[in-house]
Chains A and B, each alone.
Chain A
């Protein structure tokens, strides 16, 4: 097994994961997005005389003062394309990118995490990746549907989101390195517990220290709930499929050469 063995399978697994994530996102995510866009357009149409209030609720591409173009004609991209091919492009691109990264991390830790097999350590890497880059960032800065959030704060909110995700990823890597050392020097139990508690403490402190984002206004709670559930389901589908596909593909490699050789 070499780097290429892992990378090629990671990209393929990511492609599969992106397709599955698209199916989930389209099925459960598009209905609340459509509802949210309806709310956005209704509030934009209601307040044309108040540009300030209007801007606060839609994200403007300031130059022409027009609001975020969700309607069928603007920008040359129809809603139909946006929710099918556009959405699929996004989930597949993210799936392939994450698949590549996870596969290379799995390559780096293979045979180096105690006595875990390649399949087991790869499954662990994917699970920890989901926690560090999807679940924990979601808990602090949950996804927001269209119509929520001001165009004026998009820079800050993007910076907070990625800063927190970065802290989470770095903390997770550090926790695994520390846990691995403790597992070798003390016991596996000590390693796992110290790593797990350490990671939770670091991200909890970061979450408490970092600014909160709340721009919900009077957005309906039921649509918000439906949207956020669909968002975490999409992320879970992406990561779970990535883990299953990658471990399956690597499992075939791990066992075949022994029989052939």
Chain B
């Protein structure tokens, strides 16, 4: 899974080293952008669509997630 961590430790002592793995931020950026946008979209559909703002006409999405919208604390009514 993680070569960056294992390398300095391999074949060394049994005592766990203090070194903590880090993730290269340049590697992380595209994941964060893609997953971030998707997550915001999902939150939008559960929390807001066909309420204050309507991306799709009708009320089917609103009705389907209705109880979750109330219980997860988003304004519905």
Which of A's residues lie within 8 Å of B, judged by CB?
1-7, 25, 29-30, 33, 58-59, 61, 68-70, 75-77, 81-83, 85-87, 89-91, 93-94, 96-98, 100-101, 104, 107-108, 110-112, 115-118, 134, 137-138, 141-151, 154-155, 157-159, 161, 227, 230-232, 234-235, 238, 253-254, 256-258, 260-261
Cα-based distance from A106 to B51 in the complex (angstroms):
32
How many residues in B have their beta carbons less than 8 Å from beta carbons of A? 52
Q: Is the CB of B71 within 8 A of A5?
A: no
Q: Is the CB of A90 within 8 A of B67?
A: yes
CB nearest to A137 among chain B residues: B73
Q: Is the CB of B77 within 8 A of A231?
A: no
Instruction: Determine the chain A residues whose CB is within 8 A of the CB of B64 once the complex forms.
Output: 77, 81-82, 85-86, 89
Partner of B63 from A69, A143, A144 at Cβ < 8 Å: A69
Q: Is the CB of B71 within 8 A of A87?
A: yes
Task: Report 11 cross-chain contacts, Cβ distance below 8 Å, ordered by A residue.
Answer: A1-B23, A2-B27, A91-B72, A107-B28, A111-B22, A115-B20, A143-B74, A149-B77, A154-B52, A161-B74, A231-B73
Instruction: Determine the chain A residues whose CB is within 8 A of the CB of B6 once the complex forms.
Output: 257-258, 260-261
Q: Is the CB of A231 within 8 A of B68?
A: no
Q: Is the CB of B73 within 8 A of A138?
A: yes
Majority SS at the chain B contact face: helix
Instruction: Determine the chain B residues whose CB is within 8 A of the CB of A108 once the complex forms.
Output: 23, 25, 28, 32
Q: Is the CB of B2 within 8 A of A111?
A: no
Partner of B1 from A5, A94, A149 at Cβ < 8 Å: A5
Q: Is the CB of A254 within 8 A of B21?
A: yes
Chain B residues 21-45 with CB under 8 Å of chain A are 21-25, 27-28, 31-32, 35-36, 38-40, 42-43, 45
CB nearest to B30 among chain A residues: A3
Q: From known contacts A110-B22, A258-B9, infer whether A89 and B70 are also in contact, taking CB-CB under 8 Å.
A: no
Q: From known contacts A91-B68, A96-B42, A108-B25, infer whether A75 and B20 are also in contact, taking CB-CB under 8 Å.
A: no
Chain B residues 41-70 with CB under 8 Å of chain A are 42-43, 45-48, 51-53, 59-60, 63-70
